[in-house]
Copies of this chain bind each other. A is one copy, B any other.
Amino acid sequence: MKSDLDRLMRERDLVAFIIGGGEEESPERNYMTHGAHIMGGLILKKVGETGVAVVSPMEIEEMKDSGLECFTFNDVGLAEIALKSGGDPLKTQLDFWKRCLDQFAVPPGRVGIYGVGMLGHYLTFFRALEKELPQYELVGEIRKTLFTEAMATKSPQELERIRVVAQKTAEVMQMAWDYLSSMAEKDGAVVDGDGRNVTIGDVKALINRALLDRGLVDQEGMIFAQGRDAAFPHSRGEADTPLRTGQTIVFDFFPREIGGGYFHDCTRTWSIGYATEEVQRSFQDVSDAFDVAVETFVSGGKAHRLQDAVLDLFESRGHPTGRSHPGTTDGYTHGLGHGVGLRVHEAPGMSHLQKEDILQPGNVITIEPGVYYPDRGYGIRLEDTFYVSEQGELISLSPHPKDLVLPLKGGTA
């Protein structure tokens, strides 16, 4: 968590880190500013000290609850820098970073680089910065970074926010279930009281309104995909698709707090009216895989052990997997889960190829086994978000029931 930053900086021998980037959404920046919106500038933290933010004077009011020491561009003389460079954006940015490093007295050494930005811009910028300031070694990290490590364990305050998102998410899932179950069946299609086909777009519209009423947003685009579409794990579902009975619907739902806040991630698979025998069997396999993963969990243990157990189960039931058939698009084709926070996908990860990550108190993680058969026209996935308590228990945050068959109360129209 955030209080680990200094320890993690020392482990990496960093004298400081800088979060750069422009208008892009930046989870690390949000993490450091408590969600205050800034569209540029930089955040700089020296080891052992409170961080500072240097932002546009237009944004200084937004930063007042950030917990950082805040300065404006004027405090480092940016207007003068820009005049001097004649508006040259590379020169201006170089001078801006140099002044900040100087003014906040960053000693020579290793400076960690984080944040989100335009790749080509920063390719050029970092090359120039390294040349201008040879006393600093710019340090980049891949996958297991200062921030992925810090953010992987949540503080009680973060956990509480995620809990609230989880509870609201469950309410909205229940609304979608109740809405659909109030419908009727006609010639294999789901229809409303006027005999009109109910579409994926109708359900998504209902869900989006319900989210908004609760201060949440579906920023990344929920998956509500039916039949063959459900067999492509990231197919989002076409709005005009009419819902049909006896088809699996993968509903993978990952709303977040409006304004770049915390996510919750939950998946259910529904089959309206009835489910085919094959789907029922595969659903049972996915359900068993989910239980096996939960049973395999040990606080402090390796994350990949849960994936290994799930691979064993699926393979023993005859499903191809990414281990038995690398690159397969049939069967169990993806990793078991991931951390959830200010990104929908965070550390720790649960892949059989990634053997480093451990599961520990403070983690908020998903467990989401699934099987996919595009040629047979179905996909199935079940997912809860869990947290690992201080006592090392794995506790689900996703109370929505895992029923497969969604009965139509309207009967046959």
* B residues near A124, Cβ cutoff 8 Å: 140-142
CA distance A66 to B61 in the complex (A): 41
Name the interface residues of A6-25: CB closer than 8 Å to any CB of B: 20-21, 23-25
Q: Among B83, B205, B334, which residue has its beta carbon within 8 angstroms of that of A353?
A: B83
* B residues near A79, Cβ cutoff 8 Å: 322, 326-327
* B residues near A70, Cβ cutoff 8 Å: none
1/0 per residue A329-345: CB within 8 Å of B?
10001100000000111
* B residues near A359, Cβ cutoff 8 Å: none
Q: Report the nearest B residue to A23, measured CB to CB.
A: B345
Sampled A-B contacts (18; CB under 8 Å): A20-B119, A24-B25, A24-B116, A39-B234, A57-B329, A58-B234, A58-B334, A59-B232, A73-B327, A74-B329, A86-B353, A87-B351, A115-B118, A116-B119, A119-B126, A120-B141, A124-B141, A125-B142
1/0 per residue A234-274: CB within 8 Å of B?
11100000000000000000000001000000000000000
* B residues near A199, Cβ cutoff 8 Å: none
Q: Among B24, B87, B93, B233, which residue has its beta carbon within 8 angstroms of that of A58?
A: B233
* B residues near A113, Cβ cutoff 8 Å: 119-120, 123
- Shortest C-beta distance, A137 to chain B (Å), equals 11
CA distance A326 to B87 in the complex (A): 13
Name the interface residues of A181-229: CB closer than 8 Å to any CB of B: 205, 208-209, 212, 217, 219, 221, 229
From A83, A121, A208, A212, name the one whose CB has the most chain B CB atoms within 10 angstroms.
A121
- Shortest C-beta distance, A300 to chain B (Å), equals 21
* B residues near A354, Cβ cutoff 8 Å: 87
Q: Among B60, B140, B333, B343, which residue has its beta carbon within 8 angstroms of that of A120?
A: B140
From A118, A123, A327, name the one whose CB has the most chain B CB atoms within 10 angstroms.
A118
- Shortest C-beta distance, A247 to chain B (Å), equals 16
A275 within 8 A of B: no
A395 within 8 A of B: no
CA distance A21 to B21 in the complex (A): 14
A107 within 8 A of B: no
- The number of times this chain is found in the oligomer is 2
- Shortest C-beta distance, A32 to chain B (Å), equals 14
Q: Report the nearest B residue to A118, measured CB to CB.
A: B116
- Shortest C-beta distance, A203 to chain B (Å), equals 14
* B residues near A58, Cβ cutoff 8 Å: 232-235, 333-334
CA distance A329 to B25 in the complex (A): 26
A283 within 8 A of B: no
Contact at A235–B23, with CB atoms within 8 Å? no
Contact at A83–B326, with CB atoms within 8 Å? yes
Q: Report the nearest B residue to A18, measured CB to CB.
A: B119
Known: A58-B334, A114-B120, A212-B212. 18 other contacts (CB 8 A): A21-B119, A24-B25, A57-B232, A59-B235, A61-B232, A73-B327, A82-B326, A87-B353, A87-B354, A112-B120, A113-B119, A116-B116, A116-B117, A117-B119, A123-B139, A124-B140, A127-B140, A209-B209
- Shortest C-beta distance, A313 to chain B (Å), equals 21
* B residues near A145, Cβ cutoff 8 Å: 120-121
A80 within 8 A of B: yes
* B residues near A138, Cβ cutoff 8 Å: 123
Q: Report the nearest B residue to A115, measured CB to CB.
A: B119
* B residues near A73, Cβ cutoff 8 Å: 327
* B residues near A344, Cβ cutoff 8 Å: 23
